[in-house]
Each structure stands twice: as structure tokens, then as C-alpha cells.
Structure 1
Amino acid sequence: MTRAETKERNRRALLDAAFRLVSRDGYRARLDEIAESAGLTTGAVYSLFGSKNGLVVALVADRLEVDYEEVERAIPAEADLLEAVDAFARHHRRGCDAPDARVALSLQLVLLDMALRDPELGSRLASSVREQEARLAAMFTGRSHEGAVVTSERARRLATVLRALVTGLGQGVMLGLAEGADERYFADAARALASTTSLVEHGATAPGEEGT
């Protein structure tokens, strides 16, 4: 095995161990236990990620990378905006039934707790989420909608509100707070967002206000 292959194997082992233990223990997750679970030492963590926070940020980026790769495959290239939004929402509803959905929800909640406890970590996590969210905005940019083409700025705002929507609805499904929220429910809610205020330019003149 080459040095690069060994490095990637160790990186993967630490990310997988961090997923298990951070999901379970949150901010109390110990670096030495994560390293031991991966069959490595804490030195490997510092070498590959710089710190415990670096490992947590990399864990989030890793999870988001997989999710957005799946989203890219779920959205047809030729779809218009509403069709793309529909496919995005349905993909996330199906994720609520995945075998590791509850573990993923636990990770979401403990990461929020960690971010609130540690502003530096929170800032780094926010940057990582925004970076990946830009990929979703790129998936919507240029698609047709109501006789026009979606601009990058509109796509960015839409990506933000859609992420918030499916995250909140997904949590509701798994906590028993969104009874009847099936794929159609997710898709209808997402389409409604894409058809209204999320695509209105900030500062634009509302209908009937011209010349006022």
C-alpha cells in the first residue's frame, strides 16, 4: 500500500469512528477514544486534521459531500426548476427511511449543540455548510422557470430555504411531528417555496407599486 493509500485509509477510519462517537457523545466525544476506535493514535488525528475541531469539520464536509453527490444523481439534467426542486425534496424524504437516518439526526442535533458551545467550531461548520450549499445552488442555476432562467443569486437563496425546509421536515418525520409527510408532501412544500418569495429579488418593486 502506498503512502497516499495509507493516509486515505487512516482518514476514512477516523471519519467513520468520529461519526459513530460524535453522534453518540456529542461534545463529550473524546479524541483518544475516536482514535482508538479507528485503530490509530491521537497523533494521526493531529497529522490529518490538525485538531478535534478539524476532525469534526471534516466529518460534516464528508457527510455533505456524499449527500450532494446523491442529490446530483437524483436531479435530471434536463429538468426545469420545479422538477428539480421536486426531485431534491423527494430524495430527502426517502433519506428519512434510510437505515442510518436516526444516527444522522443524532449527529445533526449534537453538532448544533457543539457549535453553540464553541463559536470557533460553529463558524467553521457554517463555512463548510455554505460551501456545500453552493453546489445545490449551482444545480438550480440556469434552469427554466416561468419563462425565465434562474440566476445564480436566486438559486443561492432558494438553496438556503430548501435546505432549511427539508432539514426541519426531516426532523419532524423522525420525531413523529410530521404525520403524513410523505414524498408528495415534501415535494409540494418545496415547489411552493420555489414558486414564491424565495425567487423574488431583494429590493424589487412589488406589483402595483410602480411610481410610488
Structure 2
Amino acid sequence: MEGKARNRTALLEAAREVIVEEGHRGASLGVIAGRAGLTTGAIYSIFGSKRDLLIAVIEDIHRRVIADLQQLSDPRLSLEQVIAVYVAGRLRAADAKDAAPLLAFETELSGLAQSDPVVSTRLREISVRSDRQFAESLTGRRDERGLVVDERRAGYLALGVRALVLGFEQRRLRGEAVPEAMVLDLAIAMVRQ
């Protein structure tokens, strides 16, 4: 089982690298497998298809974002501090050298979701999971009025803040100057509503 997990990780890393270099349409299974030091049979054995490998790459990207923001679970952080850590982490991720091609890849895969119900379902599950994890980090914290954020409000805040930050991430990726303080001010304004 250890070997399969290691091969899965190697294939995900190779796929991510090839997608960044070539785009997902140019990411042939042979090139990905070769980069990972494996065969295309390993891709089919582990993922089942190229589509499932590509979706797994998106899942891995989202998993990494959440892992990078593990400090959100620190109970000592205030609601506003959690929002600040989230905003800073997401905007920092937008500055990474591979951020633009990976966002383009995710956007293209979202386009494919319009005609492929499997892709649509899996991408929706990834998004819902990410929102839920962020919402969990907001739940139970007190806002500036001293009110405890319940699950319902946390869900709304997570969705709204993520959408706001995603819009500014895209602007940053296009080379626009997007001050982190401005994005944080807007996110905190949402919290105070």
C-alpha cells in the first residue's frame, strides 16, 4: 500500500508540473508517467482515467491550500484574525510562480464540467469541502459584538470571503496591484454585517 501512495503522490506532482508547463491539453499521460518514473498503466491503476487524474490534481491543490492554513484552527485567534490569515494565505498563493497556469487549468476544467456531469459533481464536492473546512475554522468564534458565530453564519461567511478573495486572486494573477489590506478590510466588512 505504501508503494501505491508513493506512486500516487509522484503522479500528482508530475501532472501538476506538466500542466504548469504544457497546459492540461498538452499533458499527455505518457509524459506525466515518464516524469513520475512510472508507466501509463500506473495512472489507470491508481486514477482510472486522465479525467480522474486531472480532478485529483485540483483536489490536491485545494488540499494544499487548506494545509497551508492549518493555523486557522488555533482557538486563540479571533474571528477577524482567522479572516486575516485566510486572506493573506490565499493572496500569497496567488503570487506563486505556478499560480496562473494552475488557475487557468482549474478554469478550463470548470468549463468541461458544463458538459461532463462527473467533472461537475467532483468539482462541486471539492468546492463544498473547502468551504466547509473554512467555515469550521470560523464556527464558535466571537464577532466584534461578542456574538458567537454559528454554523449557518460561518457557512455564509466562508462562501462570501472565499468568493471575494478569489476575485482579487484573479486580478493579482493578471498583474494588477491588489493591496492585501484592502481585501482584508472588505472581508472584515462582510463579517460585520
Equivalent of 2:186, from 189, 206, 209? 189
Which AA in structure 1 matches 2:186? A
How do residues 25-44 of structure 1 correspond to structure 2 at under 5 angstroms? 25-27=23-25, 29-44=27-42
Kept after mapping to 1: 8 A contact 2:140/2:148: yes
Q: Once superposed, what is the RMSD of the aligned Cα atoms?
A: 2.1
Using structure 1 for the length normalisation, give the TM-score: 0.80
Match of 2:114, SS state, is: helix
How do residues 1-212 of structure 1 correspond to structure 2 at under 5 angstroms? 4-23=1-20, 24-27=22-25, 29-73=27-71, 76-145=74-143, 146-176=145-175, 178-179=176-177, 181-196=178-193
Using structure 2 for the length normalisation, give the TM-score: 0.87
Question: Where do 5+ consecutive residues of structure 2 fail to align?
Answer: none
Q: What is the distance in 2 between the residues matched to 1:45 and 1:68?
A: 25
Task: Note the C-alpha offset of 1:32.
Answer: 3.0
Moved more, 73-82 or 152-161: 73-82
Kept after mapping to 1: 8 A contact 2:110/2:123: no
Kept after mapping to 2: 8 A contact 1:45/1:51: yes
Moved more, 134-143 or 42-51: 42-51
Kept after mapping to 2: 8 A contact 1:85/1:190: yes
Question: Where do 5+ consecutive residues of structure 1 fail to align?
Answer: 197-212
Kept after mapping to 1: 8 A contact 2:88/2:180: yes
Q: What is the distance in 2 between the residues matched to 1:126 and 1:48?
A: 22
- Among all aligned residue pairs of Structure 1 and Structure 2, give the percentage whose two residues are the same amino acid: 34
The structure-2 alpha-carbon separation of the partners of 1:25 and 1:103, relative to structure 1 and needing over 3 Å to count, comes to closer
Q: What is the distance in 2 between the residues matched to 1:165 and 1:193?
A: 10
Which AA in structure 1 matches 2:41? G
Q: Which has the larger radius of gyration?
A: 1
Which AA in structure 2 matches 1:113? G
Number of residue-to-residue matches in the alignment = 191
